[in-house]
Each structure stands twice: as C-alpha cells, then as structure tokens.
Structure 1
Amino acid sequence: MQLLEISFSKEVSAMVSCGCLKDPFHYDSPKSIRFRSVGCVCAKWFIYVVIAIYICYTLIADKRYQEKEEVTSSVRTSVKGVAHAVSRIWDTAEYAIPMQSRDSFFVMTNVIQTENQIQSRCPEAPFAKAICSTDKSCENGSAYVHSNGVQTGRCVQYNETLKTCEVTAWCPVPMEETPPVPAVLRSSEDFTVLIKNNVHFPKFNYTVQNISPNFNSSCTFNKITSPLCPIFRLGDILQEAKENFSEVAVKGGVIAIEIKWDCNLDSWSYYCSPEYGFRRLDGKTRTQYPGFSYRFARYYKRENGKEQRTLFRAYGIRFDILVFGTGGKFRSVELFTFIGSTITYFGLAFTAIEILFSLYNCSGCWKIQFCDNIIRKKYETVLEPKQVMLVSYVDKPHVILIKRPLKTSLQDAEGSIFENHPVKFSDPCSFFTKEPNENHDTEESQLSCLMQSTRSPKCPKWCCCGQCNLTQKFHEQLCCRSTDGPCITTTYWFKKLVLSRETLNKALLYEDPFLDLQGDNTSNQLRHAAYKQYVHWRFGSFELEDRAVIPSCCRGVIRSTYPKADGNYTGFKIE
C-alpha cells in the first residue's frame, strides 16, 4: 500500500462535517486564517475593483435589471417606379414579382426574352447529349435534365454546321445566352420601396411600428439625415451594402435588409426605434454561382385559336427583410438575481490568491518562510498511521516523516519534513515543585549513577551518540542524533522531564488522580509515562503520537531506570 496523503482545507472540512447530519439545528462557521501581507491585500482589492467595475458596467450597459423578450414581427412592402426598356414600359406589375418566401420581394433588373413560342417540333438547343450525327443518336421519348422537350428520335439540322435531336416542345427553344450588359432595367436603381414593419412584445402587451404618426411620405432613407424613414431607394440599399448596383443588376443577387429593434420600455428611459442595416447574402466572392434568376411565361391566344407564349428569363435582386431584436422592462426579480449571481465573482480574489499559494507549494525552486508558515497553518495533512514513522533528532529542528517499508536502518532511511518542533513545555519549571535541597541532591545522585550504568560498551555503526544498543530490527535502529555528538540522555532536561519519578508521578496523577502508585505495576506505569513524556517533549501532542519512534539510547535508559519484571519488552508496534 502507498501512503495516503489527503490535504483538506479547514474551511471545507468544517462545512461538510458529519455532525451537521446528527444535529440539524447547529450552525457551522468556516474557519479563516488572518495574516498581514501588503501584496495579498493589494491583489485582493485590485480584483475587487475590477469586478465591481465590470458588474456596474454590465448592469447599466446591458440593462441586466430588465426582463427581456424577443420581438414578434410582420412585414409588408410596396415597390414604386417606372422604367422604359426594350421598346416597352416596365411598371410595378412587370418587374415587382411576389416571392413565395416570407418577408421578401423581388425586383427584376435584367431579362432575356424568347418570343412567339408555340407547341410543335423543332431542333433541341445544343448540349452534350442533344448533339447528334444520325437518327440512331436520338432516342424517341427520352428527356434529359437540360432538355427543353421530349425527343422524337430524329436528328435534324440545328444550323449550318451542327445537328441536334428533334424535340416536341415550346418552339423555338430558348438559347443558352449570357444576360445583357448593361442590364435591361438598370434604371430600376431609382425605384423605391416602402417597408411597413409592425412588432409586438406579448409579455409586455406592447405593439409599435416603424412608421411614426407624423410620417413624411416624401422622405427617403438616409443613415445620417433620415435614419427612421421607411422609404428606401434601391440604389441606396446596394450602396449601403457596399455593392455596385449596375454590376449586381446584370446577374442579380440577394440583399438583406436588417431591421433591429432594441426597445427600452421603462417609462423613465423609453426608447423603441428601428435601426436599419444592409448586406449581401449571396456573396459574389464566396459563392460559386452568385446572382439570382428564374423563368416565367406569359400566355395568349392567336387568331387561329392556338396558344402562344413569351418566355422570360428574369434576373433581379431579391430583398430579404430580417427583423430581430429584444424588448426589456424593469423587474425587481431580474435585478436581485443578477446581483446574487455576481456576488460570487468576488470569490475570484480568494481563488487567485489560493492558486498562487498552491503554485508556490508545488514549486521547489524557492522557499519563503512566511509562505511556508501560512501553508502549514492553512492545511492539515491526514496520514495513514500504519504506513509511517516519525523521527526527531536533537540536532535537527524538524520532525521527520519516514515511509514504510524499511530497506535499511531507520537511522539511515530517507524522509521528509513533517513539521517544526512544537514547543509543548513553554515553562518546564511548572512541572516541578520546590523540594528540599537534600531530596534534590539525592535524586541527582541517583540519576547520575543510572546514566553511568547504561553506557553501551559496543556501539553500533548507525549510532552517533555512543549510547545506543545493538538490535536486529530496522525500525529500532535509531539514534537521538543525526551527526556525532553528546547523547540527549546526558542532558538536564531529559533527566527532569523524562526520568524524574516526581515528574512522572505528577503526570500520571494528572491523568488519574486516584491512581495507585505503590503497587506492583508501578514500574510499568512509570516506564510508559516516561515514553509519553519523551514523545510530548520532542514531538508535541498530535493525533499520530503513537507513530513516534523513541531512539534506542533513550529507550534503553528508560527501561533500565524503570525495568519490567520479566525483561520482555514489546517495543515499537510496526504492524
């Protein structure tokens, strides 16, 4: 198994505590860490100011305090203008052809006419499958996609150099010609169109139209001088769409007339007027076949009763009217919802600072004592107890964490810093009471003798203090020092805090005031109390104190001072 190390924020752990399920009527308040840092405070307030400016701008510019609704629209158009071309007068009934699509109208700008067509037999227009040399090349009754009629099975002369299959069709068949240049109805540039647009906002029960009550019927739209006039000159529309009318008129095109309604229906700042925009939809540079055309015919009877027609291939401009927009009106619910949702943005300041601390914690390039202290206070590390051992050297300022399993002596095993040495006994003298000098001297004499009698004659290689005992178990091969020097057992405070019977008696009675310290088990109780005193002294009091390993030298002195009757000691439980 691997070591499980999960860092939890104290704030989060308090909020998800299981206690809240047991007692639904108690309140959990998150824990915060307060520290002085000019950089963090400046970063926090900078982010606060940016967020506040953003919220105010969005609230005012986008009117986030309003309830919004999409516009519902209806459009009617009326085209006016007369042109003279091809020896005839073209009026509205001739060139303004109703479109089947919604909110669109078509104006013819160019035309190819095939006059006096009657149903009979005639040569097919030349295309790949209609060109022939003999009757065998023509199939009776066949018709192709590009055919103008049904083949009769005969191959006839089309002109002096070419033969084509004969067809039953409206004859003569139309020729595949390019549209005339310049356009036949190029004067349609001066035609005008009146656009009547009614919009409705059902949620607010409000209706408005683009024609005002004081409408001047002689006006013409101009983006600067008359931006609200609903009468548009076709040439001006093409110019606003950045197109040349004479060029577009040859093959036609598709132009969008955009009407945008952004209505503020609040009484104190009412505004609801259309904004017009224009652009080309068929994109002459981005479409393989730009332009717009279709065919239609006009029929009439001849004197002999036969039906005759004139076929028109009409090129022109299709105008699509696109209406969109929203209406908004103040609603307190929308305002409170917006404010409530944006308050959470202020948490970005804390998130940004926390990310910086996390990046610092993950980086090993530099170390700052101030940041280390904050991270140590902020996070608690939860460990799997059975997989770790904690070691404290008298010549190092840190508690060392070593992971299992061991492949060498605990003294030589590599570990990581767990935490700084905690100061548990801020006033060590408080553990003792004034005793007569003779008692003090007697106790000192006894401890000195014990110290002299516990020196190890054969010191192991891993021992640095000269007081450790030889052992075969890796996890017991630990010295009180990491480098050569005097043993901690020779110090005054080890004697007073760990070995002193008076101190141990007080520690035991502190935990159990009625404990019998005169029984047969007294030595075992004092030995265990000495172990605990050493752990609290060198490691501090924390949830993993049972994983703290007592050095061999200290363990030997404690056992010789307070021995076990049978001499069989359990030792550190490695499990």
Structure 2
Amino acid sequence: MKNKIANALSDFFYEYETPRQVLVRNRRVGVVCRLIQLGVLVYIIGWVFIYEKGYQSTDTAVSSVFTKMKGQGYTNVSGNEKVWDVADYVFPPQGDSSFVVMTNYIVTEGQRMGRCPELKGKHNCSTDADCEEGSFKRQMTGVCANRTKTCEVLAWCPVEDDHNIPDPPLLMSAENYTLFIKNSVTFPLFDVTRSNLVEGINSSYIGKCLHDPEDAPLCPIFRLGDIVKLSGFNFETIARVGGAIGIVVDWTCNFDLHLKHCKPKYTFHGLYGNPAETDKAKASVGYNFRYARHYMENSVQKRTLYKVFGIRVDIIVQSLARKFDIIPTLTAIGSGVGIFGVATVVCDLVLLYLLPKREFYKHMKFKNTNTYAKDPDSEAGSIETELSKVRDSYMYVLD
C-alpha cells in the first residue's frame, strides 16, 4: 500500500504531460483556421480594446446641480398691468435641478369658501333630485340652482372657469429668460472632481456669453427660447399649454489624457407636451398645475387661484469616466487568447468528421494503446500498460 502511494506521488510530482501535436497540410483546413484566427484578432483589437476600451476601468460620477433663472415678464390683462420676476414665475424657487417656468396662466380672483352653483355645462340639473349630495368630484349640497340650472357645490367660490386658455400665451416674454446651470461631478474611483465652469470659464466670460452649440458650447448660460428650439419644440406652441424639456449634461471623460480634456457636453430633448403632435390617442398634452395665494379681507379668508401652464425643465447628468488599469487589460488579453481555441475546435471537427480522409486523420490524431493485466497472484498485482513509442514530436500529414 505504501509503495502504491509513493509511486502515485512520484508520478504526480516528477512527470510532465504534453499534448500531442499533429501538423496537417490541408489548404481548406488551413484557410478556415487562419480566417477564424483573423476574426478573433479583429474582435479583440477592434471591439474589445478600441471600441469597448477593455484596457480601462470605469466609474460614474456623484453629481450636484444648481440653477438660477433671470429675466422679467410683463402682462397687461384687461388694463391690469403686472411685472413678473423670478419669484413669481419659477416653481419651486430653490434652484433645483427640476423646476417649472410659468408661460401662461388662468387666474380666478377673490375666491372664498362657501356655496355656489357649478359652471354651466357641468352637472346640469332640473330638480334637487338630480344633485345627489356628496357625489361627483366636488362636494354637492343636494340643491339645484335655478339661475344656472346646475348643482350647487360647497367649494371655493366662484368656481374656476378654465375652458378658455389665453392665446397667445400671456408670458411670451419668457422666451428671453436666461438659465444659469452650475454642475459639479466627482468620480470617487479616480479621486477626480470637475465643474462645468472649466478652464477659461470665469466671471467675465459668464457675464457676456450665451450658450451656442457651435460658437459657445461650454457657456453655462442658456436662453429659454434657444432651449425650446434645440429640443425640437415651437416656443409659442409649448408656452400656451406647457410641456417638459430635458437638458442632459454629459460627462464622458478619458483620464488617460490630461484632466483639462474632461469637459461637459449639453444636449436638449423634448420629453412631452407638444400640442402639435399628430398622435390623437394621447389623453393629455401639455403641463399645468394650480397654486393659490391666500389673504385676509375683512376678517374673511380669501385666495387668488392660478392655473399655471409652464415649461418643466429637468436637468439630467450622465457620466462615464475611464482610465488605464492593468487588471482589466490582462483579463481582456486572457479572454482573447482563450477565444483563439475556437479555431482549433472548428478545424478538428472539419478534419475528423467532414473531410474524405477523416479516418486517416483520426488515426494520426489519436494514438491507441494496448493494455493487459498481469496474473492476479503476482506480487505486484498491477495493470501493466504498453505504450507505443512516439516516432516524432510532430507528424506531417500530407493532403
């Protein structure tokens, strides 16, 4: 038993096995092999290393966005002149990465809590029985108003009439508002922090620049009308009923180059809300919401209700940074070397199963051995294997 274990350990530590190689001279098989190897080489170099940058590690950024609107609007509705500033037309006013710029509105002034009839055409009635108390979206009182022939409701009175949207939009001056975007990104893996106020973007430059994709692509000051135009919308159309626009700040950086080459790229996308769309199946277009300004008058709480139509701006930061790393490089090379084995597998299949001389190639590739067992009563009691001698390290098989 000890001898068997010792022999096994000796065979394991002191013997080396090498695969047998057979050199086959066959034009068809040789061409197939080289074409497969060429394809693998093109894949490794072209796709893995050049296109996918397999020799680099990647990281995405942690981002922060600050915004500021500037500009004044002016309206004159029925002789009532009003100047609108940032505090009036931006919601919310904190400088978030997502906000709404008011471009049109419907105002209902002097509302107070009480009982009043619904608008004509809504919840029509002829008797009190037609106004079931507590039904529908509004709180009904169960009374049919004789003057309007509509159900009486408990609500802020007079009720809002939002059927007629002002056209043209009341705040067409919003086209000339400007938006300042300040964006900072940090790539934790590479310990790199960048701002969209890159080299050359100082206070004097910001004071006079206006973003243009060709002439001033790095300027962080954007005219609202230009944003709408670059997103594919018509300003007057979207200003009337509102909509949404996405501003994408793209940080795609290669840190194998100098840090100054890591710069943002701005793109603009219309998200929804274009009333000119031909898709008539849409249930709703535009963007609107309501807000109220409450006040006290003669010890009575009142409010002015605004239905606001506006352009919602969503600033989206996307990022991808790359830098050379030895580990993904070796992984990509190792994977490529392994794929080269595909050529051997395919060529073996062609040799052993498709060519006319496949039996001859099988005989050359596989060497059979004859084995027989000794007398079981012998001292060794082992199986002796007779191996045929290898004539040459490489055998040349002629086509």
TM-score under structure 2 length normalisation: 0.78
Please tell me whether Structure 1 or Structure 2 has the larger radius of gyration of its CA atoms. Answer: 1
Which residue pairs with 1:369 in the alignment? Answer: 356
Which residue pairs with 2:211 in the alignment? Answer: 221
Q: 1:250 aligns with which of 240, 244, 262?
A: 240
Q: 2:102 aligns with which of 105, 108, 111?
A: 108
* Secondary structure class of the residue paired with 1:369: coil
1:288 Cα offset (Å): 3.2
- Is the alpha carbon distance of 1:268 and 1:135 closer, same or farther for their aligned partners in structure 2, counting shifts above 3 Å? closer
Which residue pairs with 1:131 in the alignment? Answer: 124
- Is the alpha carbon distance of 1:328 and 1:94 closer, same or farther for their aligned partners in structure 2, counting shifts above 3 Å? same
Post-superposition CA distance 1:76-125 (Å, at most 9, x none): 10011112123311221111111899621111111111112122221023
What are the ranges of 5 or more consecutive residues in structure 2 without an aligned counterpart?
A: 1-6, 369-387, 389-399
1:322 Cα offset (Å): 1.0
Q: 1:84 aligns with which of 65, 69, 74?
A: 74
Native 8 Å contact 1:300 1:307 kept in 2: yes
Which residue pairs with 2:52 in the alignment? Answer: 62
Q: What letter matches 2:287 in structure 1?
A: F
**How many residues in Structure 1 have an aligned counterpart in Structure 2?**
348
Aligned pairs for 1:173-188 (under 5 A) are 173-188=159-174
Native 8 Å contact 2:183 2:195 kept in 1: yes
* Secondary structure class of the residue paired with 1:48: helix
* Secondary structure class of the residue paired with 1:35: strand
1:238 Cα offset (Å): 1.8
Post-superposition CA distance 1:532-575 (Å, at most 9, x none): xxxxxxxxx9xxxxxxxxxxxxxxxxxxxxxxxxxxxxxxxxxx
Which residue pairs with 2:136 in the alignment? Answer: 144
* Secondary structure class of the residue paired with 1:179: coil
Comparing 273-282 and 283-292, the one that deviates more = 283-292
- Is the alpha carbon distance of 1:93 and 1:29 closer, same or farther for their aligned partners in structure 2, counting shifts above 3 Å? same
Following the alignment from structure 1 to structure 2, what is the Cα–Cα distance between the partners of residues 98 and 329?
39
Which residue pairs with 1:200 in the alignment? Answer: 186
1:345 Cα offset (Å): 2.1
Following the alignment from structure 1 to structure 2, what is the Cα–Cα distance between the partners of residues 198 and 122?
53
Which residue pairs with 1:28 in the alignment? Answer: 17
Following the alignment from structure 1 to structure 2, what is the Cα–Cα distance between the partners of residues 283 and 305?
42
Following the alignment from structure 1 to structure 2, what is the Cα–Cα distance between the partners of residues 298 and 380?
95
Post-superposition CA distance 1:295-345 (Å, at most 9, x none): 00112222x222222111001111111111122222222221221122212
Native 8 Å contact 2:66 2:96 kept in 1: no
1:296 aligned onto 2:296: no
Aligned pairs for 1:397-476 (under 5 A) are none
- Is the alpha carbon distance of 1:190 and 1:268 closer, same or farther for their aligned partners in structure 2, counting shifts above 3 Å? closer
Native 8 Å contact 1:99 1:106 kept in 2: no
Greater share of residues in helix: 1
* Secondary structure class of the residue paired with 1:34: strand
Q: What letter matches 1:192 in structure 2?
A: T
Following the alignment from structure 1 to structure 2, what is the Cα–Cα distance between the partners of residues 251 and 166?
30
Following the alignment from structure 2 to structure 1, what is the Cα–Cα distance between the partners of residues 288 and 312?
9
Native 8 Å contact 1:264 1:270 kept in 2: no
- Is the alpha carbon distance of 1:333 and 1:114 closer, same or farther for their aligned partners in structure 2, counting shifts above 3 Å? same
Which residue pairs with 1:350 in the alignment? Answer: 344
Q: What letter matches 2:284 in structure 1?
A: Y
Native 8 Å contact 1:69 1:203 kept in 2: yes
Percent of aligned pairs with the same residue? 37
Q: What letter matches 1:179 in structure 2?
A: I
Native 8 Å contact 1:123 1:157 kept in 2: no
Which structure is richer in relative contact order (CA contacts within 8 A, separation 6 or more)?
2
Q: What letter matches 1:288 in structure 2?
A: A
Following the alignment from structure 1 to structure 2, what is the Cα–Cα distance between the partners of residues 21 and 289?
80
